[in-house]
C-alpha cells in the first residue's frame, strides 16, 4: 500500500521512512539496510610540488565539515589519510586551485593504489579551479589519499582568490551511493 510508514529498527536508520511498499520494499523490517556515509573536507593550505615525477599527499588540516561513515584526524600524525568505515560504491569529487602556467595531475589512492577514473591531468594558463568526479567501489577499512604532481618543479596548489578570505585550495566530497 503506497505511502505506508515503515518503522526503523535499532540497527537501522533512527527515523521512520515513507515507502511505496508495492514497488520498493516488501520486507516488514526495513527500508534502509545500509547506513549512509558522506564526507566533505576542504583546506586552504598551499602544497608545493617541489620536484617533477613525484606524488605529494595533500594534508587536510581542517576538521571535516560533514563526516558520517569516515575517520579523519585533522590534528593527528596523518591528516592526509581518510579511512572509509563501510564497503560500498562511492561518488567522489576532488576540486583544487593551482597557479598559472603549469601542468598538474591529481589522483586519489585506495590503500596506495590509484583509483581508476580519479586521475585528472590539467594545464592551467591562469590561476583557476579544476575538478574530477568519479565512482569507485571501496572496501571498509580502506585508506583514501588525495595526491598531486606537477610537470614543473615548484608548481603549487594554492587557495583560490575569492576576495572574502575563505578560498579553498582543495576540497574532497565522498558520498556512499549503495
**pLDDT, tens digit, 9 for 90 and up, residues 51-96:** 888 899 998 888 778 889 999 988 777 889 999 999 999 999 999 8
CA proximity to 123, closest of 137, 102, 98, 153: 102
Q: Please give the model's pTM, rounded to 2 decimal places.
A: 0.75
CA 150 to CA 102: how far, in whole Å?
A: 7
Let me know: does 172 contact 146? Beta carbons within 8 Å: yes
- Does domain 38-176 sit in CATH 2.60.120.40? yes
Domain residue spans of the chain: 1-33, 38-176
pLDDT in tens, 149-166: 888 777 788 887 665 556
Amino acid at each position: 500500500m503506497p505511502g505506508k510508514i515503515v518503522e526503523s529498527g535499532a540497527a537501522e536508520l533512527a527515523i521512520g521512512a515513507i515507502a511505496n511498499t508495492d514497488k520498493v520494499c516488501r520486507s516488514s523490517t526495513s527500508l534502509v539496510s545500509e547506513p549512509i556515509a558522506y564526507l566533505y573536507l576542504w583546506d586552504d593550505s598551499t602544497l608545493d610540488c617541489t620536484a617533477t615525477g613525484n606524488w605529494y599527499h595533500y594534508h587536510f588540516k581542517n576538521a571535516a565539515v560533514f563526516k558520517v561513515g569516515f575517520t579523519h584526524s585533522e590534528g593527528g600524525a596523518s591528516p592526509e589519510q581518510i579511512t572509509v568505515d563501510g564497503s560500498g560504491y562511492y561518488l567522489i569529487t576532488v576540486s583544487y586551485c593551482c597557479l598559472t602556467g603549469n601542468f598538474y595531475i591529481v589522483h586519489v589512492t585506495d590503500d596506495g593504489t590509484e583509483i581508476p577514473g580519479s586521475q585528472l591531468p590539467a594545464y592551467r594558463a591562469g590561476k583557476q579551479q579544476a575538478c574530477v568526479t568519479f565512482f569507485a567501489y571501496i572496501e571498509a577499512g580502506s585508506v583514501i589519499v588525495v595526491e598531486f604532481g606537477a610537470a614543473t618543479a615548484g608548481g603549487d596548489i594554492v587557495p583560490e582568490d575569492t576576495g572574502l578570505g575563505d578560498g579553498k585550495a582543495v576540497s574532497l566530497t565522498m558520498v556512499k551511493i549503495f
